[in-house]
Amino acid sequence: MQGRSRSTNRTIYISLMILCIVGFWVFENFYTPDKYSAPANEVLTSKVPDKILPASTSGEIVIHSNFILSYKEHYEQSEWVAYVLKRSHLTYDDRERPDYIEDPKVSTKSADWRNYRGSGYDRGHLCPAGDRRFSVYAYNETFYTSNIAPQKNGFNSGIWNELEMKIRRWSKKYGNLYIITGGVLEKGLPTIGEEDVAVPKRYYKIVVRGEGKDIKVLAFLIPHKDTTEPLVNFLVKVDDLEKVTGIDFFSKMDENIESGLEQSIEMEYWNF
């Protein structure tokens, strides 16, 4: 009788162990939070003037509280992310790193973060989490996968991070900056994961400051690799950037101003 009881207990124990293992596997592989909830007093910070916003080649423009993006489903990432960076945004508050989750505002949902697992690529931020430490919600929003693209670690922690830090220093010096950034999405890119997330061969950033005729612009186009070259080596004309991306970057700006901005590199107005 005791032998039968021990056998029954062992069976129950094994069954519970199996259920726990299966439950943990399901949680790890399929569970993801639905979305991040904005507090009632959250202030909209993503207001980028229409004349600064690029055109969307996909028609899928998504507006979040702290950045705006144009999503391209075919590549499972954004062709551009645009946001404003103010001096007041530059805090050093510690934030708990949240989950990467699919963007609920993208009509097809953005790529699952698990596409990156085991790929050898970082989940690289386009709007940097470090630029959004001023509130928990602003920080969390940057972890929507619509704001993420595959990046080699040496690139992500190297030249890309160097440019992000340079932009923060410019914001401290000059005040409000508008940043437009993304990977160059083109035919024939390698992919990762079950959803075929494209891996860009080049990444870009456009930095804008000033108003009207006093507007100043810098554009960078950087190969997706580790490099020790100085940032100035990657400056390009906006015109050239439009040719490689297929994006019209200042389509709503006065044509005379737009033409001047896009056909020159004016690094003398920026402190390198």
Catalytic residue annotation: 125
Q: How far apart are the C-alpha atoms of 64 and 240, rounded to whole Å?
A: 29
CB 97 within 8 A of CB 125: no
Q: How far apart are the C-alpha atoms of 63 and 60, rounded to whole Å?
A: 10
Q: Are strands 122-125 and 61-63 parallel, antiparallel or unpaired?
A: unpaired
The rounded Cα 58 to chain-centroid distance in angstroms is 17
Tell me which DSSP letter residue 167 carries.
Answer: H
User: Burial, 156: exposed, middle or buried (Cβ in 10 Å; 0-12, 13-18, 19+)?
Assistant: buried
